[in-house]
Amino acid sequence: DADVTQTPRNRITKTGKRIMLECSQTKGHDRMYWYRQDPGLGLRLIYYSFDVKDINKGEISDGYSVSRQAQAKFSLSLESAIPNQTALYFCATSHPTGGGANVLTFGAGSRLTVL
Amino acid sequence: RKEVEQDPGPFNVPEGATVAFNCTYSNSASQSFFWYRQDCRKEPKLLMSVYSSGNEDGRFTAQLNRASQYISLLIRDSKLSDSATYLCVVYTNAGKSTFGDGTTLTVKP
């Protein structure tokens, strides 16, 4: 089984629908992240969480919300999906080392299409 | 100006060539630096961390220049399997990792 599991892997929906993307991890990491990737671009941070009681906005949080249900689970919601939210979404986890590094482990991605 | 900038390429090189990618970052408080590899439509995977003294892993060499705020990745003896997008990632003490847009490499026979 993958260390970081995302569901669904692919989703096609219509404008205005509510969508939830789920992420679960077995790495025991405290930190979890949601990123979005558009074609030809790098990953942009939507939300991140350093523990169950900690939620932080990233650079592109408008139109999204998150829930950290447990250390191992971090879900991303689109309350009312719009076409420009069509993208590839990645969940990631990390556990910072004492040396200041922060290596990310990614899920396989969730491809969302909003019509 | 983006926080992390990379030459998007594409870089098209023959097998066996040496190719170098550069990445610049704007936040002088950045703590650690990485190169990730991403294959088409797949998740990014860590290729290597970048240390101040420079580091090597087989055919791959990473360098960091804090004064000029850039990092580099050198690939020697390119293989067909090196074809991918290479993402520069910068981590700040605020706990966030910022990605460049990636440099696409195609290695041809």
Looking at per-residue pLDDT, the higher value among B88 and B93 belongs to B88
Instruction: State the pLDDT confidence band at B7, using cuts at 50, 70 and 90.
Output: confident
pLDDT of residue A99: 60
Token couple for B30: 């950045």
pLDDT of residue B71: 96
Q: What is the dihedral of CA A2, B56, B86, A99, to 10 degrees?
A: 60
Instruction: State the pLDDT confidence band at B100, using cuts at 50, 70 and 90.
Output: very high
Residue contact B43–A45, C-beta within 8 A:
no
pLDDT of residue A98: 60
pLDDT of residue A95: 82
Paired strand residues for A57: A47
Instruction: State the pLDDT confidence band at B66, using cuts at 50, 70 and 90.
Output: very high
pLDDT of residue B80: 97
Provide φ and ψ at B18, rounded to 5°. Answer: -105, 135
Among chain B, residues having any CB pair with chain A shorter than 8 Å are: 4, 8, 31-32, 34, 36, 41-46, 49, 87, 89, 91, 93, 95-102
Partners of A104 on chain B (C-beta within 8 Å) are 36, 44, 46, 89, 97
Residue A55 contacts B where some CB pair is shorter than 8 Å? no
Share of chain A above pLDDT 70, in %: 95
Partners of B43 on chain A (C-beta within 8 Å) are 90, 106-109
Residue contact A100–B91, C-beta within 8 A:
yes
Q: Distance from CA of residue B33 to its chain's centroid?
A: 9
pLDDT of residue A1: 65
Most confident of A50-54, B75-79, B87-91: B75-79
Which of A23, A25, A47 is closest to A94 using CA atoms?
A25
pLDDT of residue A101: 67
Residue A99 contacts B where some CB pair is shorter than 8 Å? yes
Give residue-wise pLDDT tens across range A56-107: 999 999 999 999 999 999 999 999 999 999 999 999 999 876 665 688 999 9
Instruction: State the pLDDT confidence band at B82, using cuts at 50, 70 and 90.
Output: very high
Residue contact A88–B46, C-beta within 8 A:
no
Mean pLDDT of B21-43: 92
Q: In chain A, which ranges are E strands?
A: 4-7, 10-13, 19-25, 31-37, 43-51, 54-57, 65-70, 73-78, 87-94, 104-106, 110-114
Residue contact B44–A90, C-beta within 8 A:
yes
Distance from CA of B78 to the nearest CA of A (A): 23
Partners of B98 on chain A (C-beta within 8 Å) are 45
